[in-house]
Amino acid sequence: MKGAGHRLAAAGSAALVATSVLAGCGSGDGGITINVYKYPQESFQKIVDRCNDEADGYRIVYHKLPREADGQREQLVRRLAAEDTGMDVMALDVTWTAELAKAGWIKEFTGSAKSQVENGTLETPLDTARYEGKLYGAPDNTNVQLLWYRSDLVPTPPKTWDEMIELGSQLKKQGKPGLVEAQGKQYEGLVVLFNTLVNSAGGTILDENGTKAVVDDKAVKALEVLKKFATSDVVDPSFSNFAEDDARLAMEGGKAAFMLNWPFVYAAAQKKPEFAANFKWAPYPSIDGSDAKVTVGGLNYAVSSFTTHSEQSFDAVSCLRSAESQKFAAINDGVPPTIESVYDDPEMAKPYPMKEAILETLKNASVRPRTPAYQNVSTVISTILSPPANIDPRATADRLREELQDALDSKGVLP
Amino acid sequence: MSHAVTQETGTPPPKRDAKAKAAISEGKKAERRLGLLLCAPAVIVMAAVAGWPIIYSVWLSLQRYDLKFPDRQEFVGLDNYVTVLSSPYWWNAMWITVVITVVSVVIELVLGMVLALVMHRTLVGRGIVRTSTLIPYGIVTVVAAFSWRYAWTPGTGYLAETIAGGEPVLTQKIPALLVVVLAEIWKTTPFMALLLMAGLALVPDDLLKAAAMDGANAWQRFTKVMVPVMKPAILVALLFRTLDAFRIFDNLFVLTGGSQGTTSVSMVTYNNLIKGLNLGIGSTMSVLIFIAVAVIAFIFIKLFGTAAPGSDNGGRR
């Protein structure tokens, strides 16, 4: 009954599924094909090729998912709902684990596969792959935002939000660029910012089980900080429309002294040597002077529940995320590894000078709310917080609590 | 086809006697049976691909059914309808959809009529004029929407730099809606023009000449002669476009993605059904859209007297 329901529910994707199943079976040589679905990552085919050389009795085929996270998730969930056997391994955003695990669409890592994944992997990324105490994913890469600043304008980077706003304000009074760039557009980036602030303030969005919306007083404090920033004189006028790349371009354009962004901005800045010379990084600013709890991003590999080659799929995952693969991806694609020893590799020093800061931030990092309804939770948060300048801390918190609870109970309507 | 049959059998010459009449109705019966048999495969296929999904989505709309929580499935009666109909997001989307529909259809009707008249009157290069008018309609909507998006994006687009003065118009509600309406009009005015041109072809030249002889000026000839004769064609064109515009999805999806409160009802449904995997709420919304579309069609056909597609008299009056 359940299976039939899913199949009918996904009737719209029948054609898509049919073609992909055909493609999956079309290996021709009669050997086992492991179909891996991942976002278009530039050097990934080389990693696949190397794993194919090592593979015993199967061949990995890399299928590219859409570039944007929403598109990736949509394609994956539609095919999983239709119980597509043509997908074996999938690269999942860290926020999707709970949803797919709860629906029974991805396999749990047990036994040797589990111990292999847990061995030497950083705790926070590993935590994103867990749901209800079980391991459902193998962390491939992780990500945390840092504070980026211009060392020609700011000799010592600020430790807190208040200091940062104050410093920027002073710079502006002296007629120098003093803006702070961040992501305030109505999308996941705003949720990342909010989650970092709430966790840094010691607050909670959802309870431990992800079944109850909490949004406590500390979360109200976080909303106050966001509101203060969004209405200060150091916020970029386009803050409420800015995603990661918009912020980067504004910083490179010379308008800003500070930026909160992912480490990819370092590689991008190297194309402008005179800018890169003064482009420095520091740990993310906190709210009260202690460590900030920065939201962790990244990607985990999961094995589909509908694969017919379970053993080979887990084997393929262990090669695709091996220390060697992660080092290759870090150097060529700039994505931070999840295996701690990779950071100590001497080859990492040049392309990854900020690796210490990343490693340090990762140790205090926070995970976004863990619930099967994450997509709904995220949509509700970004809708209610947008634009950030209109936040009324207490009222906004009440509205968040109410609408988040509806989303968790599958009662509410998604905007 | 059916017109031809009614024409032949429906008007028997008065001289025929009762016996002949019976024979004819017997033949008619046989014809009916054959007709039904010939229709049967198509009807069965239609029932399977159209009827069943409709029934199934009504059934789904009465349940709490979220693919993320497969163990929480239960029958909830009309709860989902209460949830959707009391949601500000749904009503905002409905409002946006109605505004887009009305504004774009009205402008399309006016522009379409002008284009139709131009195409109808053109003596030289009629083929070229018609072809070039139809080009926007021939371009895939998503492709066209992407070029509009880039054109309105500061830094990459000529429209953003020239008309909008470098402002990101797609990031503000009202300007973004204007761009969406513009894209809709650009895209579907040719379709409107084509349907109206078919109507124009029905206006007998003699009527216009007679009106001109009686001293009617061009405007009077248009409003008193052409429009009444064309009325069926105009209403069909309006009906098609209204139903189409009401279900707007692709242009909005590409241009704004529904941000800044620019979601249409189809997009809200998509967000709940496909992104949110909430089959209950999503199906409720599709049933509501289905009802809305049925109401629009009812208003047009019953109140305005639009000839339903297939029941028109093929131009005979």
A238 to chain B, minimum CA–CA distance in Å? 10
Please give the domain boundaries of chain A with CATH numbers for all domains. 2-136+297-363 (3.40.190.10), 146-295+369-408 (3.40.190.10)
Q: Which of B64, B168, B280 sits opposite A241 (nearest CB)?
A: B168
pLDDT value, residue B125: 79
Side chain identity at residue A339, one-letter code = I
A315 to chain B, minimum CA–CA distance in Å? 28
* Residue appearing with tokens 């999904």: B53
Q: Indicate yes or no: CB of B83 within 8 angstroms of CB of A412.
A: yes
Q: What is the 3-state secondary structure (H, E, C) of chain A?
A: CHHHHHHHHCHHHHHHHHHHHHHHHCCCCCCEEEEEEECCCCCHHHHHHHHHHHCCCEEEEEEECCCCHHHHHHHHHHHHHCCCCCCCEEEEEHHHHHHHHHCCCECCCCHHHHHHHHCCECHHHHHHCEECCEECCEEEEEECCEEEEECCCCCCCCCEHHHHHHHHHHHHHCCCCCEEECCCCCCHHHHHHHHHHHHHCCCCCECCCCCCECCCHHHHHHHHHHHHHHCCCCECCCHHHCCHHHHHHHHHCCCEEEEEECCHHHHHHCCCHHHHCCEEEECCCECCCCCCCCECEEEEEEEECCCCCHHHHHHHHHHHCCHHHHHHHHHHHCCCECEHHHHCCHHHCCCCCCHHHHHHHHHCCECCCCCCCHHHHHHHHHHHHCCHHHCCHHHHHHHHHHHHHHHHCCCCCCC
Confidence of residue A17 (pLDDT cuts 50, 70, 90): very low
What is the arithmetic mean of pLDDT over B267-278? 88
User: Is pLDDT larger for residue A299 or for residue A352?
Assistant: A299
Q: Indicate yes or no: CB of B70 within 8 angstroms of CB of A375.
A: no
Q: Indicate yes or no: CB of B280 within 8 angstroms of CB of A77.
A: no
b/e sequence A127-149, b meaning 16+ C-beta within 10 Å: bbbbbeeebbbbbbbbbbbbbbb
The predicted complex's ipTM stands at 0.70
Q: Which residue of B has its CA nearest to A211?
A: B69
Contact, A366 vs A296, CB < 8 A?
A: yes
Q: Which of B69, B83, B279 sits opposite A9 (nearest CB)?
A: B279
Confidence of residue B8 (pLDDT cuts 50, 70, 90): very low
Q: Indicate yes or no: CB of B275 within 8 angstroms of CB of A81.
A: no
Q: Indicate yes or no: CB of B68 within 8 angstroms of CB of A102.
A: yes
Q: pLDDT per residue over A368-410, tens digit each?
A: 999 988 988 998 999 899 889 999 999 999 999 999 998 888 7
Contacts of B64 in chain A (CB under 8 A): 410-411
What is the count of residue pairs from A and B with beta carbons less than 8 Å apart?
78
Q: Indicate yes or no: CB of B276 within 8 angstroms of CB of A376.
A: yes
b/e sequence A327-341, b meaning 16+ C-beta within 10 Å: bbbbbeebbbbbbee
Supply the pTM of this predicted model. Answer: 0.76
Assign B188 to helix, strand or coil. Answer: helix
**Alpha-carbon Rg of chain A, whole angstroms?**
22
- B153 at the A interface (CB within 8 A)? no
CATH class in words for B79-303: mainly alpha
Q: Which of B53, B65, B275 sits opposite A414 (nearest CB)?
A: B275
Q: In angstroms, how far is the first alpha carbon of chain B from the final one?
A: 17
Side chain identity at residue B242, one-letter code = T
Q: Which residue of B has its CA nearest to A81?
A: B67
Q: Which of A78, A103, A241 sits opposite B171 (nearest CB)?
A: A241
Q: Where are the domains of chain B?
A: 2-61, 79-303
Computed over every residue of chain B, the mean pLDDT equals 85
Reply yes or no on whether the pLDDT at A152 is more than 80: yes
- Name which of A131, A185, A413 to mutate to probe chain B: the one with the most chain B Cβ atoms within 10 A of its Cβ: A413
Q: In angstroms, how far is the first alpha carbon of chain A from the final one?
A: 30
What is the arithmetic mean of pLDDT over B143-158? 85
pLDDT value, residue A95: 93
Q: Indicate yes or no: CB of B70 within 8 angstroms of CB of A2.
A: yes
